[in-house]
Chain A
Amino acid sequence: MGRILTMERKGAVVFAMWLLLGAFAFFVWTGCASTPKQQWYTGQSIYNASLDVLITGRTAGYISDKDFVRIEGYRRLADASLKGMHEAVQDGNLDLFQAYLVAYRGALDRLVQEAATVDREQKRIARDKKKLNAISEEE
């Protein structure tokens, strides 16, 4: 656990995040999930699926301690937003539901951005290592 991710390994996690966000966007914003309860259920399904993939990635050593900490805040925000959405549905408070839905969408957006940032950093580290190797070989 805690080893630095290679580009190939990160690629799978980043791809998973994009796929899940895409699924959420498609089902919620195209109106397939039309009622608040359906939207919450869709959001919760996507959260559970994302976390399941992240757990597998973390267990397999693809997600370093640093990456774990980086994404944890947004995961908590997504979780809290979904809990809020569910409570708002039960209370019939649609304004509050919309506020939590926006927060959840923001949390997923940031999770994807964080995954992409980590990916870019790994590519930069790989480039720097290559340059260093080339220099040491010349010497």
Chain B
Amino acid sequence: MDPAQLILWLKLLSTGMELIGNLKLSTGREPTAEEEAEIIVERDRLNAAWAKLAPTNGGDA
């Protein structure tokens, strides 16, 4: 297996486990104000990271 592909699968696995943890929390009770703030900070961090990966030539590759 290509190492980059292995990294993607490992990422998928770890993200999936983290997601299950979050979903378990959110279905058991209402998220606290602190948890709400944390998930918003994480969203902003991910949005910024994704924006940095935008194609510079308009996506004609």
Contacts and interface: CB of A to CB of B under 8 A. Distances in A.
Interface stretch (A39-47, A93-101, A103-111, A122-130): A39-47
B31 A38 contact: yes
Interface residues of A, number: 50
Contacts of B9: 12
Nearest to B27: A32
Taking residues whose C-beta sits less than 8 angstroms from the other chain, chain B's interface range is 35 or more
Dominant secondary structure at the B interface: helix
A2 B61 contact: yes
B30 A35 contact: yes
Interface of B: 2, 4-5, 7-9, 11-12, 15-16, 18-19, 22-23, 25-27, 30-31, 35-36, 39-40, 42-43, 46-47, 49-50, 53-55, 57-61
